[in-house]
């Protein structure tokens, strides 16, 4: 290999096709990973392994409600029910809780199916193709393109942010500033978009959460009924106001959760069975709103096959390769493309390291404070609605 | 990466242009590329060879996304373990992606590189396009 003879450029300038190992062994330059220059509004932790939306929404509230309610159930209701009903109660509760917790974290922390933005050459190619005059001038392409999918015309929209025609069922999330494949919705409760890659985690989360809340509601009601009948525990007002408060808290949380989460689970079961997304359902994409007789071209016309294709299909890979090493030539292209403010001096390029994308798992202190304040105000508004309603 | 190795073999030739093979959505959202032969490659490559490459890639992606007994089993097992099995096990799709990577490297070595062309793995472009880089004529047949 004649690597030395390839250097047709000034050796002081960074070579464009240097391998990542050369980058690591040369002076102050550190290995940069692709998540560090990701153009969307996402936050990355633990070296890019965990990703979330920029605003975590009410995820802390979701976690808090689940942990507090389940904690109270295990501490106060389980001992009584184990003694008077069955020892299976805490086992079932634990299994459901583990399912809920793990699937919630997977929904929140995984890539929902983000499409990486088009490279400069790709974007130029698309724009050049549209120019019918034959000149190589670049102008914005038309907004839509029609394709025939399973004998039905479907419009593909051009995304001006990502510089590509969006594949079918892909939508651009304005909160995350990404095109997401099979976009369902952006869920503030989990603090992330729900799309092709994490829909099954989201569905399992809401189904297991509805089972958990129903189970806890049933157990707390049983505990209350059995205690009142057996008069083992005194629930009279002057004696155990804390017990009353705790029981009412659990019952109220579970009652509202059961109705809302059960309803949501039912709705998503319908979507899964008909192979539709929330986005398509809300927009009425396949309901023939425009006057045409439109059916869902992605449905397999069989409920079982639809369910299997949505929930049991092979998990697609993450397309953004956030842990990949950033090649030096792409690093400079990303800097131009994503409009990151960096000094022009190449020697300083790798020493800048945007503070918002620090590879450690800890957030900047000011951001944490802002988020805690946002979560606290979200809690207060929920409590206000609850008390007034 | 395949891109880096092949380019070093060519002693850093100049890129003449790039051709992008777009996705074919006629069968839905499955990963499939158009087999229409681009005019820019007419002087470099046989239409049949190009179609064979793209068709093989399409077949491999269809295999990756296939709904069958094994994928259902994998999905059910994953569901029962709250999808934690994905953290420890390589998924079916990832196994096929490795196969695709080997196929593209093989095609580059045997067919495309001797003709001054380079096939980029679509996964590096978000499965949007198959990018074929055309290098300047002086590198054809020069070998290593």
Q: What is the pLDDT of residues B85-117, one digit of tens each?
A: 888 888 889 999 999 999 999 999 999 999 999
Q: Which residues of B touch A102 (CB under 8 A)?
A: 82-84
Answer whether residue B142 is part of any domain: no
Answer whether residue B78 is part of any domain: yes
Closest CA to B126 of A40, A105, A138: A40
Residue A352 scores a pLDDT above 50? no
The mean pLDDT of chain A is: 76
Residue A133 scores a pLDDT above 60? no
Answer whether residue B12 is part of any domain: no
What is the predicted pLDDT for the residue at A8? 42
**Shortest distance, CA B114 to any CA of chain A (angstroms):** 17
pTM over 0.95: no
Residue of B nearest to A298 (CA): B28
Closest CA to A54 of A279, A333, A363, A339: A363
Q: Is A148 exposed, middle or buried (0-12, 13-18, 19+ CB in 10 A)?
A: exposed
Q: Which residues of B touch A122 (CB under 8 A)?
A: 20, 125, 128-129, 131
Answer whether residue B54 is part of any domain: yes
Answer whether residue B15 is part of any domain: no
What residues pair up with A158 in beta bridges, in sequence order? Answer: A165
Contact yes or no for B67 and A19 at CB 8 A: no
**For range A284-290, the mean pLDDT:** 68
What is the predicted pLDDT for the residue at A172? 94
Contact yes or no for B83 and A312 at CB 8 A: no
Contact call for residues B59 and A199 (beta carbons, < 8 A) = no
Contact yes or no for A167 and B23 at CB 8 A: yes
Element (H, E) at B15: strand B15-22
What is the predicted pLDDT for the residue at A146? 87
What percent of chain A stands above pLDDT 90?
32
Contact yes or no for B67 and A305 at CB 8 A: yes
Q: Which residues of A touch B64 (CB under 8 A)?
A: 314
What is the predicted pLDDT for the residue at A186? 94
**Shortest distance, CA B140 to any CA of chain A (angstroms):** 17
What is the predicted pLDDT for the residue at A237? 42
Domain count, chain B: 1
Answer whether residue B14 is part of any domain: no
Q: Which of residues A362 and A133 earns the better pLDDT score?
A: A133
What is the predicted pLDDT for the residue at A232? 52
Contact yes or no for B66 and A5 at CB 8 A: no
What is the predicted pLDDT for the residue at A139? 64
- Region of poorest pLDDT, from A38-42, A81-85, A285-289: A285-289
**Shortest distance, CA B64 to any CA of chain A (angstroms):** 7
Answer whether residue B39 is part of any domain: no
In this predicted complex, what is the ipTM? Answer: 0.84
Contact yes or no for A102 and B82 at CB 8 A: yes
Q: What is the DSSP string of A160-223?
A: TTTTEEPPTT-EEETTTTEEETT--EEETTTTEEE-TTTHHHHHHHHHHHHHHHHHHHHHHHHH
pLDDT digit string, tens, across residues A49-82: 888 888 877 899 999 999 999 999 998 888 888 8
Answer whether residue B53 is part of any domain: yes
Q: Which residues of A touch B28 (CB under 8 A)?
A: 149-150, 168, 297-298
**For range A357-385, the mean pLDDT:** 49
Contact call for residues A41 and A175 (beta carbons, < 8 A) = yes
Chain A / chain B CB contacts < 8 angstroms: 117
- Region of poorest pLDDT, from A48-62, A148-162, A218-232: A218-232
Catalytic positions of A: 187
- Region of poorest pLDDT, from A142-146, A170-174, A307-311, B100-104: A142-146
Q: Is A51 helix (H, G, I), strand (E, B) or coil?
A: strand
Angle at A316 between CA A311 and CA A319, to 5 degrees: 145
Contact yes or no for B127 and A156 at CB 8 A: no
**Shortest distance, CA B26 to any CA of chain A (angstroms):** 4
Cβ partners under 8 Å of residue A88, min gap 6: none
Range of the domain at B69: 20-34+44-135
Residue A166 scores a pLDDT above 80? yes
Residue B40 scores a pLDDT above 50? yes
Nearest to A99 among B12, B82, B93 (CB): B82
How far is CA B36 from its chain centroid? Answer: 16
pLDDT digit string, tens, across residues A102-112: 999 999 999 99
Q: Which residues of B touch A168 (CB under 8 A)?
A: 25, 28-29
């Amino acid at each position: 290999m004649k690597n030395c003879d390839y250097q047709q450029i000034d050796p002081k300038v960074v070579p464009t096709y240097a391998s990542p190992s050369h980058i690591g062994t040369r002076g102050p330059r550190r290995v940069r990973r692709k998540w560090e220059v990701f153009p969307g509004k996402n936050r990355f932790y633990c070296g890019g392994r965990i990703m979330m939306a920029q605003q975590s929404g009410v995820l802390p509230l979701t976690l808090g409600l689940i942990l507090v309610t389940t904690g109270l159930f295990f501490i106060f209701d389980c001992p009584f029910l184990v003694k008077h009903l069955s020892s299976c109660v805490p086992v079932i509760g634990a299994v459901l809780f583990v399912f809920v917790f793990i699937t919630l974290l997977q929904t929140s922390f995984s890539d929902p199916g983000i499409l990486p933005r088009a490279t400069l050459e790709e974007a130029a190619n698309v724009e050049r193709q549209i120019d019918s005059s034959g000149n190589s001038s670049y102008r914005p392409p038309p907004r839509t393109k029609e394709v025939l999918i399973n004998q039905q015309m479907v419009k593909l929209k051009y995304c001006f942010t990502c510089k590509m025609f969006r594949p079918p069922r892909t939508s651009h999330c304005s909160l995350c500033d990404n095109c997401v494949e099979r976009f369902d919705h952006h869920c503030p409760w989990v603090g992330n978009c729900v799309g092709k890659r994490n829909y099954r985690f989201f569905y399992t989360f809401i189904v297991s959460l509805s089972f958990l809340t129903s189970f806890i509601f049933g157990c707390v009601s049983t505990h209350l009924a059995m205690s009142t009948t057996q008069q083992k525990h005194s629930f009279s007002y002057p004696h155990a106001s804390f017990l009353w408060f705790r029981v009412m808290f659990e019952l109220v949380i579970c009652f509202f959760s059961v109705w809302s989460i059960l309803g949501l689970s039912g709705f998503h079961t319908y979507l899964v069975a008909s192979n539709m997304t929330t986005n398509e359902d809300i927009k009425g994409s396949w309901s023939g709103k425009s006057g045409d007789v439109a059916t869902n071209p992605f449905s397999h016309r069989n409920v079982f096959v639809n369910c299997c294709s949505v929930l049991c299909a092979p998990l697609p890979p993450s397309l953004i390769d956030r842990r990949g090493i950033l090649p030096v030539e792409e690093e400079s292209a990303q800097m131009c493309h994503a409009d990151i403010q960096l000094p022009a001096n190449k020697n300083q390029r790798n020493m800048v390291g945007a503070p918002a994308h620090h590879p450690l798992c800890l957030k900047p202190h000011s951001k944490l404070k802002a988020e805690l304040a946002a979560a606290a105000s979200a809690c207060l508004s929920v409590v206000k609605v609850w008390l007034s309603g | 990466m395949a891109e880096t190795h092949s380019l070093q073999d060519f002693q850093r030739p100049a890129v003449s242009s790039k051709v992008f093979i777009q996705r074919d959505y006629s069968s839905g959202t499955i990963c499939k590329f158009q087999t229409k032969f681009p005019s820019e490659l007419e002087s470099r490559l046989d239409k049949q060879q190009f179609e064979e490459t793209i068709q093989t890639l399409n077949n491999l992606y269809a295999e990756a996304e296939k709904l069958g007994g094994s994928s259902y089993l994998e999905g059910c097992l994953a569901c029962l373990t709250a999808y934690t099995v994905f953290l420890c096990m390589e998924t079916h799709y990832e196994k096929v992606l490795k196969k695709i990577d080997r196929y593209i490297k093989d095609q580059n070595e045997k067919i495309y590189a001797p003709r001054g062309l380079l096939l980029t793995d679509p996964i590096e472009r978000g499965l949007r396009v198959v990018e074929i880089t055309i290098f300047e004529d002086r590198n054809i047949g020069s070998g290593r």
